Structure 1
């Protein structure tokens, strides 16, 4: 089984979180995972992936223009039936990450993907719509990102 983690990052914060999520996926075992910036996507690996986690910085309470452009122009990929999840980074709690996550999830559903977050089913960290990493909060955030990755990987194994 394979999971792709696609992200856009200008400052390196979202890339850092993508790598933490990758560590969590690896904890699950028996899943190949590849973390890719949107400008360097391994198309074959992505198409073979059962799960895809999308990550974006939050800009003006929404996704990055790079993520929007990739989603708009990704018609070459058949994402139908794959498990999708989302994460975002933000500089503050009220930075609009929930809107960024909903934007990604909306696009994933339009593309026919299954959407999963773990919600509150497993207790803390509660991920409701997806994982949000607040850059100004450091306590437990790195481990929360890993936990999110592990939960998504476990669900991919359960479904596929």
Structure 2
């Protein structure tokens, strides 16, 4: 089963977290995940993916303008309806707006007919209600949460589509 993790990254920090999620998903039996920049991706892979996760750096307490435009213009071409979707964010400061950016992404995914998931509190700790947020200065501490998120998303995709 295929998964696509799309991201917009300026400093490389959001790219790093996307790759953590992809690697974690690849460690799950039956999953093949690839991380793609929104400017360099495999559209055929995305169309074949049953799980699509989208990540953004946070600017002015929301997602990047580049990602918002991509969500509105490009993402719908991947036939997202009925697929499993998720979101993540990276930020420079604690309480920088990561959750707000994730909500905007999830709203787009829901409007495209996707099923959104994170595991919430049902999977125990760490509780990931909307999607993981990594704060730059604590990136190494956040890495494990992103790995767990990838595992949870892979497990749910396999439950739904295998």
Relative to the length of structure 1, the TM-score reads: 0.96
- 1:138 CA drift (Å): 4.1
Equivalent residue, structure 2, for 1:37: 37
- 1:30 CA drift (Å): 1.2
> What runs of 5+ residues in structure 1 fail to find an aligned partner?
none
Q: Distance in 1 between matches of 2:94 and 2:149?
A: 18
Indicate the SS of the match to 2:45: helix
Equivalent residue, structure 2, for 1:152: 153
> How many residues in Structure 1 have an aligned counterpart in Structure 2?
160
Alignment of 1:81-160 (within 5 A): 81-138=82-139, 140-160=141-161
Equivalent residue, structure 2, for 1:24: 24
Q: Distance in 2 between matches of 1:4 and 1:10?
A: 19
Relative to the length of structure 2, the TM-score reads: 0.95
> What runs of 5+ residues in structure 2 fail to find an aligned partner?
none
Moved over 6 A (4+): none
Alignment of 1:4-15 (within 5 A): 4-15=4-15
- 1:139 CA drift (Å): 5.3
